[in-house]
Structure 1
Amino acid sequence: MRNKSMLAKFAALLIALPLLATSAAAFQQSASPVGRWKTYDEDTGKPRLIVDVYEAKGGTIAAKVVETLFAPNAVCTECNGAAKNKPMKDMPILWGLKRDGDEYTGGTVLKLANGKTYKSKAKLLDGGKKFEVSGCLGFICKHQTWTREN
């Protein structure tokens, strides 16, 4: 009798595992990058910014600086045009990303360190706890991984 009970539990587990895996995959696909993220300096690895990723017009994904961790009143000295010497706080740094399967593509990212913009793509990692943002010039891309704050 005990063997039948164990066999029934094992069979139920075998049925449940694919369902759980499917649910986890569906959750990963439906996860959204919307929220607050911490960015890191690419040279030192130290936290640099807190950014707010949000859904913009047309369902695109964008991000703006909420807080500068390296200097409270930092300005973008390297930016051009209207952004030159403006506070980094509330400055848009990522815009135009559109969901494309498991990735977000077709966007633009502003690198505050040099004031230049690059073609951008991004994807969620680690069950939505990390957001890998890439800035590309032609086929050469640099990646930065942001960590979720909330």
Structure 2
Amino acid sequence: MTQFTEHARAVALRTVRQAALAGALLASAVSALAQTASPVGTWQTIDDHTGQPKALVQIIQDGNGELSGKVIKGLNPNDRPDRRCTECTDARKDQPILGMTIIDSMKKDGDAWDHGQILDPENGKLYKCKMHLEDGGNKLVVRGYIGVALLGRSQTWIRQQ
């Protein structure tokens, strides 16, 4: 009887360990899925004119679920790191582009984010903004527009690890 009890105890212990491992793997998978199901993270922007990487933008989510994004690194070697938004007309006028918040007030709207705005530091203009994920969360399509979304332009940003 003791031999049976020891065997049962060993089987039970092995089952508990396997369940704990499965739980850890599931939690990791859920975390990875949540990350790819949201624009939260770091994104590489692409220059509209040259097609070359332009900057890294970090998107965060605040306590109200709204997204904002700021420039955390310039990638164009020809751009000065102390570049300023000379064309801006709001409080960002003449402020450094590096560290500047260029996306704000984005709210979840179905599978997309909408109702926010984006600043183009090149021309200082503010646009309405909407965005959605593609390619399993690895690409973010960002559309800036005036009035209606048909009148605007889109960029595809690439998620950085």
Shorter-chain TM-score range: 0.7 to 0.9
Q: Which has the larger radius of gyration?
A: 2
- Aligned pair partner of 1:146 in 148, 152, 157: 157
Q: Deviations over 1:67-117 (max 9, x none)?
A: 112222221111123211211111001011111111111010001111010
Residue of structure 1 in register with 2:116 after alignment: 107
Query: What CA distance in whole angstroms lies between the structure 1 residues aligned with 2:114 and 2:155?
Result: 15
- Aligned pair partner of 2:56 in 50, 54, 63: 50
- Aligned pair partner of 1:80 in 89, 105, 130: 89
5+ residue gaps, structure 1, are 1-26
- Aligned pair partner of 1:31 in 21, 34, 37: 37
Query: What CA distance in whole angstroms lies between the structure 2 residues aligned with 1:62 and 1:123?
Result: 14
CA-based RMSD of the aligned residues comes to: 1.7
Residue of structure 1 in register with 2:103 after alignment: 94
User: Deviation above 3 Å: which 4+ runs of structure 1?
Assistant: 27-30
Any conservation in 1 of the 2:104–2:117 contact (CA below 8 Å)? yes
- Aligned pair partner of 2:143 in 111, 124, 134: 134
Q: After alignment, is 118-127 or 83-92 more displaced?
A: 83-92
Are the structure 2 counterparts of residues 30 and 44 from structure 1 closer, same or farther at C-alpha, using a change threshold of 3 Å?
closer
Are the structure 2 counterparts of residues 67 and 30 from structure 1 closer, same or farther at C-alpha, using a change threshold of 3 Å?
closer
Instruction: Look up the equivalent residue of 1:35 and give its one-letter code.
Output: G
Query: What CA distance in whole angstroms lies between the structure 2 residues aligned with 1:39 and 1:65?
Result: 10
Residue of structure 1 in register with 2:10 after alignment: none
Query: What CA distance in whole angstroms lies between the structure 2 residues aligned with 1:33 and 1:133?
Result: 10
Are the structure 2 counterparts of residues 39 and 29 from structure 1 closer, same or farther at C-alpha, using a change threshold of 3 Å?
closer
5+ residue gaps, structure 2, are 1-32
Residue of structure 1 in register with 2:27 after alignment: none
Determine helix, strand or coil for the equivalent of 1:81: coil
Residue of structure 1 in register with 2:22 after alignment: none
> What is the deviation of 1:35?
0.6
Percent identity at matched positions? 41
Q: After alignment, is 36-45 or 72-81 more displaced?
A: 72-81
Give TM-score scaled by structure 2 length. 0.72
What is the total number of aligned residue pairs between the two structures? 124
Instruction: Look up the equivalent residue of 2:155 and give its one-letter code.
Output: Q
